[in-house]
Amino acid sequence: MNFKIISLFAAIIATVSANAPASERTIRLDEIDSHGYYVQDWGRPVVNRSVVGTPLSVGGTKYEHGIGGHAISRMLFDLGGKAIKVEGLAGPDDTNLFATKLEFKIIGDGKELWQSGVMSRGDAAKEFDVDLRGIDKVLLLIDMCDDEFMYDHGDWIDVRFTTVDDGEVKAIPVMPKAISKEAYILTPEAQDAPLINNPKVYGATPGADFLWSVMASGQRPMTYSAEGLPEGLVIDETTGIITGAVKEKGDYKVRLTAKNDAGADETDVTIKIGDTISLTPIMGWSSWNCCRFNASDSILRRTTDIMYEKLHPYGWTYVSVDDGWAAKQRSADGTLQPNGNWKDMKALSDYMHSKGMKFGIYSSPGPTTCGDYPASYGHEYTDAKTWADWGVDYLKYDYCSHTQVEKDSSEGSIRAPYDLMRAALDSAGRDIVYCVGYGAPRVWVWGAEAGGNLWRTTRDITDEWNVVQAIGNCQDVCAPATAPGRFNDPDMMVVGHVGGGWGTPKHPTMLTPDEQYSHVSLWAILSAPLLLGCDMELLDDFTLSLLTNREVIAVNQDELCSPAVKLTVENGQIWYKPLADGSVAVGCFNFDPYFVLWDQTDGEAMQLRDYKFTVNPADFGLDGAVTVRDIWRNEDLASDVSTPFDVTVPYHGVKLLKLTPETKK
């Protein structure tokens, strides 16, 4: 054949091939290897099943293919620049117990490409067909948009990616591993002279056993006094422990004093004898996170000793046993008995009280606890009397197994056992702080009416940043319920050595130092109970510094107990709350809006970026000049500030400030 003809034929073929449509490939979401990269704040998204393991079902229709998750769930994919589109369905799974509202979103390179709008249980799945051309990374997000964040199951159904040629869709970490950062201590070293750290108010009921201490840091030995104590109370001058009982209701102004060889400190407080106890959030320790079912008399005694020495001077008071303390059978008369890990509950309580510490215990309103130990159903008054006789000061009452006996899942039926236990505690004649525990939906709506002093607002926390951030982010929903004696509990703080209680070996928290500062700061602004779950025998200097910053604690213990307010800004969130002295506590938190760094490289640690936040005093209701104070460092940064100013915040870190009007100084 003529060479020119061959060349012409080859050119024609090349031209046709160049103009031919590229081949397409379909990749199903449920077939993508996730490498465990999908992130949500309890459990993991489940392939071809709902998040609780049932068949995928939305709006009464069952589906074979998809991924079941819950709000807030995040799945991030690298498209390699070859994706054409993603299509499928999304909707709330029919396993939702309540009319939870969810929203499904598809985010491409940080920009919203599609959103479902608000969806509720029973809604039919919504279809989507999203153009992905030019998109490098795409995020599938199930978002919360309601005042419920416990029962919030959502499904991605029959999701298919279309790519060109050999294009792949690769799951990548939503939260890349951060470069290791050494712990750094901001809390100033404690001085030798006394500094009193009591909250400004303390509540007790008339006639009840009274136990409070002058809690002061400084060199020991120390002597104490309390001028103006109401009739019935006395103070031990060598320990600072105030005991007795007050018969008459009223507000009693008392001046506390602490002295040692290095100096003296005094402060005025108000003892309120009335109907409300726990006027500021409780501060203490609970056994679950590091002991699970293996807590014991000896562990609680050793923990009490350590807390008394190192933390009690800063306000830490409660030491509690969580699930697993009870014997498997009640006694013949129906009394709940401790198991073999415990010698004598009354003796243990007396030991704690001798140091000014308080004893907490655990139960549930159903037949069994979460750990399948005997609970209080049908024995409420007996158990309350038993605990009062033992000297218990705090009850955590988880919503475990009550669904076995309640008539329905209405709010009234769920609340009823908590009302019953409240009545039982009242009849027992002892001040027992009452936590309406884990699992009761929308508990912040009715927890106070049921007589709770605090209530668990979320599922259990773990020391993963996505869990801590997700739990913290949701608290603005329930924040308006905050008031003296009424607190939202976002679960224990995960600082120090944790694990053991979660089925994982004991280990230093996985949170970075910056994340730990954020964690403690947010719980402080939220007026959340400060409950520790770490092994106190492994308490290190950095963790101790997190827990003994008197100004951070003062934000948490502020007697106004103002609800915290969240402002979402470009680089994260600003939380703030007014304080009783007219100032405002402000926290600038470097939180990723979707927990995603869009320019990350798969599998590699990243140099994480600081962000600038603009703080405007007027946004917090402050007019005129203010003094700006760094709360963690306990030092003023600037005075006579009347205009917006910038602060720099490390990745996943915080800048915790106090803005005080000049006229209030």
Q: Name the CA radius of gyration of the chain, rounded.
A: 28
Instruction: Clarify whether 460 is annotated catalytic.
Output: yes
Q: Specify the DSSP class assigned to residue 3.
A: H
Residue among 490, 459, 472 nearest 587 (CA): 472
Distance of alpha carbon 235 from alpha carbon 212, whole angstroms: 9
Number of CB atoms found within 10 A of residue 131's CB: 13
Please report, for residues 219, 409, 451, 511, the alpha-carbon distance to residue 275 in angstroms, rounded to integers and kept in the order given. Answer: 37, 31, 11, 40
Burial zone of 115 (CB within 10 Å; 0-12 exposed, 13-18 middle, 19+ buried): middle
Structure tokens at 491: 């679960």
Distance of alpha carbon 660 from alpha carbon 665, whole angstroms: 7
Instruction: Clarify whether 158 is annotated catalytic.
Output: no
Choose, from 93, 94, 460, 514, the residue flagged as catalytic. 460
- CB contact at 8 A, 206 and 247: yes
Distance of alpha carbon 439 from alpha carbon 449, whole angstroms: 17
Distance of alpha carbon 396 from alpha carbon 433, whole angstroms: 9
CA atoms within 13 A on the CB side of 345: 23
- CB contact at 8 A, 381 and 375: no
- CB contact at 8 A, 367 and 399: no
How does DSSP assign 103-114, residue by residue? EEEEEETTEEEE
Burial zone of 64 (CB within 10 Å; 0-12 exposed, 13-18 middle, 19+ buried): exposed
Distance of alpha carbon 559 from alpha carbon 249, whole angstroms: 19
Q: Specify the DSSP class assigned to residue 53.
A: S
Number of CB atoms found within 10 A of residue 133's CB: 11
Please report, for residues 164, 202, 219, the alpha-carbon distance to residue 313 in angstroms, rounded to integers and kept in the order given. Answer: 66, 16, 11
- CB contact at 8 A, 638 and 628: yes
The residue ranges of DSSP E strands in 65-200, in sequence order, are 66-70, 73-78, 83-92, 101-108, 111-115, 119-120, 126-131, 137-144, 153-164, 170-172, 195-196
Distance of alpha carbon 162 from alpha carbon 126, whole angstroms: 19
498, amino acid identity: V
What are the contacts of 343-348 at 24+ separation with CB within 8 A? 343/297, 344/297, 345/390, 346/389, 346/390, 346/391, 348/297, 348/300, 348/301
Distance of alpha carbon 208 from alpha carbon 255, whole angstroms: 22
- Sequence-distant (6+) residues with CB within 8 A of 367 are 374, 375, 377, 378, 401, 404, 405
Residue among 285, 193, 186, 236 nearest 633 (CA): 186
For residues 139, 145, 149 and 153, what is the CA-based torsion angle, rounded to 10 degrees?
A: -60
Choose, from 398, 489, 558, 592, the residue flagged as catalytic. 398
Structure tokens at 190: 């404690």
Distance of alpha carbon 312 from alpha carbon 349, whole angstroms: 16
Q: Which residues are catalytic?
A: 398, 460
